[in-house]
Homo-oligomer: A and B are copies of this chain.
């Protein structure tokens, strides 16, 4: 740690020798391995970027020169070199910075970024503004090869060349997305690597960029030389560097996908500190789809570069199903259109996306899928209130999906209901169906359910009571059960309990019947209230005497706030809900 001890800010690098900078890379790598193995985090991406980040800050003059990291999960080294070292060296400070760039932390960070493929476009904004101000700055967008499959990255590249001035795109090519790469572009990158950047056909040159190739992307000296060459360049240029994902930690170099992001693990035993959850909804679905695909060769599962989180790891291993498994790369828009096209011909596409990333597909859900009313099935994972990063919240998918016509969005409450709905979704041929996979521990009711949800918008009344009706949507149905129970214990009121099942519509008949002997309806949903499910119920009762209370999340961005705190803030604990109900009853 001799060198790292001397470095706090980029200026501290300027007088170091190449040997010292190389030693610094060893110091930083040690720090990263210890820190990430302790707390969890993005492992491989940061180990691969150690030398490049050192070289960037050695050659360029941040924050006058501006570096934008795509998806920014490879920005840990940048944080270490820009005043935030302690967050990586001092275990007491491990939680003091986020896992992504954050302008509120440092003048060296320009954007909060957590979704891929955005760096080039954001950096174009910095460059355009620089040009209008007439000042001199280097603008650098750092983007991984995996992120290049996203449409926004392409739109940015296509436009960047029109800036007509300094603009540097550093392509960090480690030959991996989270999983392996998919797409024709990657053949071109491979060809460029194999020809030391000299192949005639060059994706970046075809888009109008000047181009440099660096084979030794983990060699500080080589990188410094190339960065010095392009510094203050007067036109857009791509520097394509070949790095090794997980560089310096053998297991991470060998198992690139496993070590893309890791849970905390013991460096000695290499075992995770936390025990694995026995069974998840993703596991259950993954096995189910393997079974279905073996029965029917027109079943196709589709992922956008996240096969692990959506439960497709089983599926990928089945070599006889390889034609029925499609990873499109980070290309959610294409994924939706592809699914629509397959469904239009009677195929059975299952597209599994993470809630936060389905945000990338609104127009495709609406235009490519819903207007065409093709019966594709979309599984939405990780939806719901979470203590996660601001860029990965799962609270927006209900307003996003459920206000598009034609799509039926379902909210299962148990393993049995999830599987029944999934089977129905795959077999029905009338419409696009989306299913919000509960983001909770698995609940099994043991019920036998028929796989028929053709009677759209028919809710299920599970307890027939009076005075109060509780509508618990999807993963919040069990919360509804608890509220029903606590309310009975505290007041003697036997409230009606309803599992609505359908997020996208109103059971007018059932809701009308409640008017007879109920005076309060409460709705519970695991997402934001604005534009969500509960508001539709409230609107239905707008001209009646029924009182309605909607429980859910506030429309706000939260960043690593604990679930407990958020549930308090949103009045989502059963005792708080019961108190709110009582205050209405009492008021009257």
Interface of A toward B, CB cutoff 8 Å:
103, 110-115, 118, 121-133, 149-162, 182-185, 187-188, 200-203, 205-209, 297-298, 300, 323-324, 326, 328-329, 331, 333-334, 337-347, 349, 357, 359-360, 362-364, 366-368, 370-372, 390-391, 396, 399-400, 402-406, 528-532, 534-536, 538-539, 541-545, 547-550, 555-557, 584
Contacting pair A342 B405 (CB below 8 A): no
Set of chain B residues within 8 Å of A127, measured between Cβ atoms: 341
Contacting pair B132 A158 (CB below 8 A): no
Set of chain B residues within 8 Å of A391, measured between Cβ atoms: 367, 371
Partner of A200, one of B201, B404, B557: B201
A527 to B344 alpha-carbon distance, docked (Å): 29
Contacting pair B208 A184 (CB below 8 A): yes
Set of chain B residues within 8 Å of A359, measured between Cβ atoms: 362-363, 366-367
Main secondary structure of the interface of A (DSSP, over half): helix
Contacting pair B121 A333 (CB below 8 A): yes
> A72 → chain B, closest Cβ, in Å?
11
Contacting pair A125 B155 (CB below 8 A): no
Set of chain B residues within 8 Å of A329, measured between Cβ atoms: 155, 158-159
Known pairs A123-B341, A187-B208, A188-B207; A149 contacts B157 (CB<8 A): no
**Closest B-chain residue to A324, C-beta based?**
B132
26 A–B contact pairs at CB < 8 A? Answer: A111-B340, A114-B367, A118-B364, A122-B338, A122-B340, A125-B338, A128-B300, A129-B347, A132-B347, A133-B345, A151-B152, A151-B154, A155-B334, A157-B184, A159-B328, A161-B183, A162-B183, A357-B363, A360-B363, A366-B396, A400-B400, A404-B555, A535-B538, A538-B538, A542-B549, A543-B547
Copies in the complex: 2
**Closest B-chain residue to A534, C-beta based?**
B539
> A507 → chain B, closest Cβ, in Å?
15
Contacting pair A405 B334 (CB below 8 A): no
Contacting pair B367 A118 (CB below 8 A): yes
A133 to B300 alpha-carbon distance, docked (Å): 12
> A382 → chain B, closest Cβ, in Å?
15
Partner of A343, one of B125, B149, B347, B550: B125
List of 9 A-B pairs having minimum Cβ-Cβ separation, nearest first: A125-B341, A151-B151, A184-B208, A121-B337, A531-B531, A161-B184, A155-B334, A158-B183, A403-B531
Set of chain B residues within 8 Å of A152, measured between Cβ atoms: 151, 333-334, 337, 364
Set of chain B residues within 8 Å of A118, measured between Cβ atoms: 337, 364, 367-368
Contacting pair B341 A122 (CB below 8 A): yes
A113 to B155 alpha-carbon distance, docked (Å): 21
> A131 → chain B, closest Cβ, in Å?
7
> A264 → chain B, closest Cβ, in Å?
27
